[in-house]
Structure 1
Amino acid sequence: MPSIRRKEDGLLARVNFPLYAVQMLTSRHVLVAGGGGSANTGVANGFEIFELSHDGEQFVAEEVIRHETGPVVVMNCATRNSGRKCFLVAGQESHCQLYTVNIKVVNVHENNIPGHQHLTNRNTKNDSRKKNPTKLGGEGNRAVKKNKDADGKTQNVDSNGNSYQKLQFEIKPNDSVQTDFSEKEPVQRVVRISHSGKLMATAGTDGYVRLWSFPAMVKKLDIQAHSKEVDDVDFSPDEKWVVSISKDGTCVLWSTESGKKVGELKWPSAGEAKYLFKRCRFGVAEDRESPSRLFSIMNPVGRSGRHKAYLQLWDPSEGMLKRDVSYAESLSALAVSDNGRFVAVGTMFSGSVSMHVAFSLQRVLYVKEAHSMFVTGLEFLPQGLNGPPITSTAEAAVLSISVDNRVCIHSLPYRSSVPLWFAILLIIAAMFSAFLFCNYMGL
């Protein structure tokens, strides 16, 4: 039986434009992107970065910085943090724009807080943090002392004498390259950066998958992958393959060295229903030595109410379907946790979010109607990516976004290692053994 929504989960932040992309920038900072398009609607286009923390009761978010992109909506993006440099790439119509994200660590002095506008959440009205405020730096459960630094300024420190520190961000546009060359309406639909940060894949309406060296943005391969526009791409963990799915109904594996086809996923759907792949994501095996896993979501074409949608687990080396689970409505978003343990999906019509165990596809969390409209993106909180993970009471947590302008979070409580039925059986066995022992001893 999957867990239901926890009372401390739900709305994390709200922006004033529709959201289409979500990426973790550091282990504690999330970037969301979207916009209202080029029409004169008054709806902005761009990015917002939020700092996440846990105050002992709930996840909280503070707005860090906002960057607007003028008349160009951001429909897809990817981030790369090497520890020393941070990069952001975003699809803007037919081009891919590279941004350099400069990060500066600053000590937070009580005297200087008003000078750092990004430290204050703009939406503090009726915020639970007014009653139980989170300490600066996202460490709300640490005791606070006040020390003098070398300049004589008052400084907030914890019980160990460590100063509170914050990250300042500055987003600067850099190179831009054209990635789609469709004659009718060239648009980049997707961009992904490989695990090592050395490769970038782009794809769009012209059906090509293009590989680029990163962050140099120099093209390496043109792969004539599909006859229709590409919906999604992803790199395998070892970066030997890139997988692509398209509205032509195919899901194909390509060599990142030669650009040649190395495999294709084929699913013999039951009956006369036609299905299309919607999203695809690789996931590492938990032991890190077993072959990688490939997850996909597949939707029926036409009236989805008559046919089910599917979350699928594949063996990519064999092109074989290992497991699948069905959904009563079409699926719109897919994400895999960086430790390979969980996979999450979002739905098209009800705006619901589910979390599954990766190897078995057992559903362990279901959040009905997390959003008022379809889920456009999902992203797991990382476990140690570019810094320590956020300490919380959850085994896993996933962020979700939608065109309803909301950023939400959904967490899975730590599960018991012993099933309830087994624990009850052990208690009964212990009581029966105690009765037999007492009877034997004549007690």
Structure 2
Amino acid sequence: MSPNRCDGLLARVDFPLYTLQTLTNRHVIVAGGGGAAATGVANGFEIFELSHNGTRFIAEEVMRHETGPNVVMNCSVMSNQNKTYLTAGQESHCQLYKVNIRMVDAAEMRRGSFRAENGLVRRRRRTVSENDNISKKDSNSNTTEKRISFEIRPSDSVQTDFSSDPLQRVVRISHNGKQMATGGIDGKVRVWSFPKMELLYELDGHTKEIDDLDYSPCDSSLVSIAKDGLALVWGAGARAPPRLRIACAPPNGNKYLFRRCRFGIIEEQADSFRMFTIANPLSRSGRQRGLLQSWAGQDGTLLRSALATESLSALAVRDDGRFVGVGTMFSGSVDIYIAFSLQRVLHVGHAHRMFVTGLAFLPVRGYGPAITSRSEAALLSISVDNCLCVHSLPHRSTVPAWVAILLIIFVLFCTFTLCSYMGI
């Protein structure tokens, strides 16, 4: 299926992007940077507000927060009872930020500027040239309209990795906002209270550095994957051996290593869930074909497998569990699959100039009104090419509307003819 012509670039920032999270149904935060070297490339976050003008998706910059010499390699967001927190991996430490959300006058935001907590003043602006064609309704809207604004305030910071060359690889906040899990080079999964960020316990089971973590939808399980080739599923809230040890099960007999893991709910069954993983082959010879797999969340049974056309780098599951998105290592391509069957329904080749570093579906169950568009699903992607892009899946139909109309007319004609012939 060919991608929608109205998809593509949403925004371009001035630093490489490594992590992407949704704040609300309409707001996303991207982060990254150029590191501590004196390259002149900034480090920090940018928040964008997304909308749809009836033809295409639009992104507007809401705010920017720079983090000085500290590049942001990974982050996690928690929103609960009007409290929003952001945790960011910065070298060996995890930095906690409090995100203040407030409603402000929309006209004032359009006319003026606003100040980030680090003193950087940024003016609200549209981020791609195509946005200049937006309807003038925005400028003529009621001045009493309110828009969401954000303030990011740095809070506590804790060291989460203690290897000789420490680096936090991943951080994940539980859905109930009570715990935070981190993993790094030293191969240990550390579980912290949240938002106090006090160490509760360490989980020992991996022998190499941690690549990814995720909490199950009901926070009953925590999965970790590492470069030792294992996916370990732990019972959340207790220091105990892993209840499941899963090794990649490739269909072609080659040896694969897990790269990313995500849980997803099963539709109409809020207490049931699947686990999705992507893996890449160890062999460097021949064509490198990544592997997308789904597993039963309760017992680790392999449910489905799908071979990709190349090695994979990023994974996302929509919050209602219906779709899975993957990004590739070499061509910068993006694919959307049906979660139940792992049938690919959208392929966007060369969506980025370099490998995809992060993916996130526009949520359908998040905070605030959802974006109304003509698509069944919309997937956001980022890369070290500094770009934030969107890829939408058009509503699927088995019969085009014009064919259905012709069929109805034909059936009515045949019915009328038959009735006339029979003298009815």
Same fold, TM-score > 0.5, yes or no: yes
For the pair 1:382 / 2:363, whether they are aligned, the reply is yes
Q: What are the within-5 Å matches in structure 2 for residues 251-290 of structure 1?
A: 251-260=231-240, 261-269=242-250, 273-289=254-270
Q: Match of 1:150?
A: none
- Verify the 8 A CA contact 1:199 1:214 in the aligned structure 2: yes
1:183-241 Cα shifts (integer Å, max 9, x gaps)? x2111000011111111110011111111111111122210131000000000111111
Give the one of 113, 120, 123 matched to 2:124.
120
Q: CA deviation at 1:130?
A: 2.2
Quote the residue 1:22 is aligned against. 20
The alignment status of 1:312 with 2:310, answered yes or no, reads: no
Matched with 2:317 is: 336
5 Å-filtered alignment, 1:214-363, equals 214-260=194-240, 261-269=242-250, 273-289=254-270, 291-303=272-284, 305-363=286-344
**Structure 2 CA distance for aligned equivalents of residues 212 and 115 of structure 1:** 37
Shift of 1:172: 1.0
Residue 392 of structure 1 aligns with an amino acid whose one-letter code is S
SS in structure 2 at match of 1:130: helix
- Mapped to 2, the partners of 1:185 and 1:425 lie a distance apart of 68
Match of 1:97 among 82, 95, 104: 95
Letter in 1 for 2:214: D
Specify which of 169, 183, 208 is matched with residue 189 of structure 1.
Answer: 169
Q: Amino acid of the residue matched to residue 351 of structure 2?
A: A
SS of residue paired to 2:39: coil
- Specify which of 139, 144, 148 is matched with residue 141 of structure 2: 144
1:367 and 2:348 aligned:
yes
CA contact 2:27–2:50 (8 Å) conserved in 1: yes
> What is the CA deviation profile of residues 116-155 of structure 1, one whole-angstrom value per residue up to 9, with x for unaligned ones?
575631646xx2232324655xxx9xx735xxxxxxxxxx
- Conservation of the 8 A alpha-carbon contact between 2:248 and 2:258: no
Gaps of 5+ in 1: 146-155, 157-162
Q: Are the aligned partners of 1:350 and 1:368 in contact in 2 as well (CA < 8 Å)? A: yes
Letter aligned with residue 141 of structure 2: V
In the alignment, residue 327 of structure 1 is paired with which amino acid?
Answer: A
Q: Tell me the equivalent position of 1:37.
A: 35
Question: Is the CA contact (8 Å cut-off) linking 1:277 and 1:299 kept in structure 2?
Answer: yes
Shift of 1:328: 2.1
Q: Give the drift of 1:273.
A: 2.4
1:153 aligned partner: none
Deviation at 1:407, TM superposition (A): 0.2
Letter in 2 for 1:17: F
After superposition, the Cα gap between the structure-2 partners of 1:250 and 1:235, relative to the gap in structure 1 and judged at 3 Å, is same
Shift of residue 431, structure 1, vs aligned partner: 6.9
What is the distance in 1 between the residues matched to 2:81 and 2:123?
22
Distance across 2 between alignment mates of 1:430 and 1:386: 47
State the identity %.
Answer: 55
Per-residue deviation, 1:110: 6.1
Partner of 1:130: 132
C-alpha separation between the residues in 2 aligned to 1:110 and 1:48?
20
Distance (whole Å) between structure 1 residues aligned to residue 285 and residue 314 of structure 2: 16
| Matches of 1:409 and 1:43, distance apart in 2 | 24
Give structure 2 stretches of 5+ with no counterpart.
115-120
- What is the deviation of 1:94? 0.8
Deviations 1:306-353 (A, max 9, x none): 352211011121211111111121000000000111000000011000
Q: Check whether the contact 1:95–1:188 (CA below 8 A) recurs between aligned residues.
A: yes
Q: Determine if the alignment matches structure 1 residue 208 to structure 2 residue 212.
A: no
Q: 1:46: which partner in 2?
A: 44
In structure 1, what is the Cα distance between the partners aligned to 2:381 and 2:136?
23
Cα RMSD after superposing both structures:
2.6
- Give the distance between the partners of 1:270 and 1:88, measured in 2 at CA: 39
Conserved in 1, the CA contact under 8 Å of 2:18 and 2:383? yes
**Is the 1:55–1:134 Cα contact (8 Å) retained in structure 2?**
no
- Which secondary structure does the structure 2 equivalent of 1:291 belong to? strand
Assess, with a 3 A threshold, how the Cα gap between structure 1 residues 135 and 193 changes in structure 2: closer, same or farther: farther
Q: Which moved more, 1:6-15 or 1:75-84?
A: 75-84
User: Which of the numbers 3, 12, 19 marks the counterpart of 2:10?
Assistant: 12
The residue aligned with 1:160 is none
For 1:363, give the aligned amino acid.
Answer: R
3-state SS of paired residue (1:56): coil
Deviates more, 1:341-350 or 1:53-62: 53-62
Superposition TM-score, scaled by structure 2 size: 0.91
Q: Partners in 2 of 1:304 and 1:337 — Cα distance?
A: 34
TM-score by length of 1: 0.87
Q: Is the Cα–Cα contact under 8 Å of residues 179 and 194 in structure 2 kept in the other structure? A: yes
Query: In structure 1, what is the Cα distance between the partners aligned to 2:157 and 2:219?
Result: 24
Secondary structure of the equivalent of 1:404?
A: coil
Alpha-carbon shift at residue 374 of structure 1 (Å): 0.3
Matches of 1:34 and 1:23, distance apart in 2: 12
Shift of 1:290: 5.9
User: Which residue matches 1:82?
Assistant: 80
In 2, the alpha carbon distance for the partners of 1:176 and 1:328 equals: 41
Shift of 1:416: 2.1
Match of 2:146 in 1: 165
The answer to whether the 8 A contact 2:11-2:387 is kept is yes
Q: Which amino acid aligns with 1:25?
A: L
What secondary structure sits across from 2:415 in the alignment? helix
Name the counterpart of 2:118: none
Contact 2:169 2:211 in 1 (8 A): yes
Instruction: Kindly state the Cα deviation for residue 291 of structure 1 after the two structures are TM-superposed.
Output: 2.2
Distance 1:323 1:433 in 2: 45
Equivalent residues of 1:62, 1:119 under 8 A apart: no
